[in-house]
Structure 1
Amino acid sequence: MADVWIPSVYTFFHLVATRGGVFWTSPTVGYVIYIDDLLNLEYNKTVDGGATWGGAVNIRTGDIRSFDCWADWQTAGDAGTKIHITYIDTSSDDVRYVYLDTSDDSIGGDDLIEACQGTGSMYIGVSMLLYHITITKTRGGNLAVAFRYEDTNDIVFYGFYTSPDGDTWTSEESPWEADSHYILLFPGNEADNQDVWAIFWDASADEISLKTYDDSGNSWSEQLISASMTESS
């Protein structure tokens, strides 16, 4: 198949998106999630394997600066139909969670995870240095979100939250160390099916490591994957 242009999918996608799809529910049906040129969160759907795409469907109107997604079926043994989405919105100055249910294309949730700390207002900009967020779902069913953002006094705030249902979020021990770090969350493979893995890039030390969240102990451990991981110019 030749390259296909997905309508409206452009602008800030690679700057602020971590994982936006394509999320395939079958060989022909897929979803891509992105931030449009107005900084709204949208999705497009294909029903013919990507040959053509439907128009943009709004998920959240705001000033979305960063987002990440995780589909139920990306977690081993999970037969759910939801794409879980977390995002940072500088219009409402908060971190939020929403989902797209692919069984009927309904959008639900839009729950608060954390309101902006410090000044109560987030710094306005477009960069992963300012905003970074990631989400996953454990094998036991918990959602987990890690994020960082800056307020208008240039103070960086970090968070790690878990939720059993997407409605109630609990602040947990943080894996963050400094503002020059990046994280991708994944379901863990430990005996406790609520544990979480975090691929952790320490840009200041030029190292990539695996951090493991022990859900029962609310603690993190770390194992080096590779040193000398210097970013390219």
Structure 2
Amino acid sequence: MSDDSRPHLVVLTGAGISAESGIQTFRAADGLWADEPVEAVATPEGWARDPERVLRFYDARRDQVRGARPNAAHRALAELEADGFRVSVVTQNIDDLHERAGSRSVLHLHGEILMARSSVDAKLRYPLSRGGIRLGDVCDKGAQLRPDVVWFGEAVPAYPEACDIVAEADLLLVVGTSLAVMPAAMLLDQAPFGAPCALVDPEAHALAPAGVAKIARPAGEGVPALVRHWRETRALSMPEGRLD
């Protein structure tokens, strides 16, 4: 438990927030899997079968992330934290846009594209400040490096920590996610009883479970609007009336 007595905003972010920075999503018709089947590039079996293909796929994604820039939603969350609010981000995204915007408390559920890790010891992780991973690049134990990304069929090691963070939320904000990816979708159940929850997404009315406030706007509009309200009132509360 944290000894920080400030009200705690926990933000769960998904592909929709990064899409506004030009990063392709998984499920769009022109998205990441349009040319590469998920089984080939995002499973342990695909890695075992053709590691070079997997590395090429993630090199392309890495280039895309490096060329992207944080958008208004990323910046608003960082500004709220800089203004003295306690903000924790739990993201399904593997890019570093939250960090580049200035957020300091970011947990990546599904790993980080700008990191490599050992294929035999997940604790051995290495930053990729430039370039990518090649066959023959090895960890300190002599094993091939792989992307530091959680693939389909693998456990999500950061999930227990994410549950602990959500359990300390005074207000839970969900941004740009379909709430369909497990186990991330179950995180809502970890929030304290009575803690308000809001979803910012253009499809919020179709996606949000009962009891979740629906803000049917893109992340770059809805999140800054909420942040302006919180900074003006100096309190974590949902605005009266509709933002959408």
**Which TM-score applies when normalising by structure 2?**
0.25
Greater relative contact order: 1 or 2 (C-alpha under 8 angstroms, separation 6 or more)? 2
**Which TM-score applies when normalising by structure 1?**
0.26
Higher fraction of helix? 2
Structure with greater Cα Rg: 2
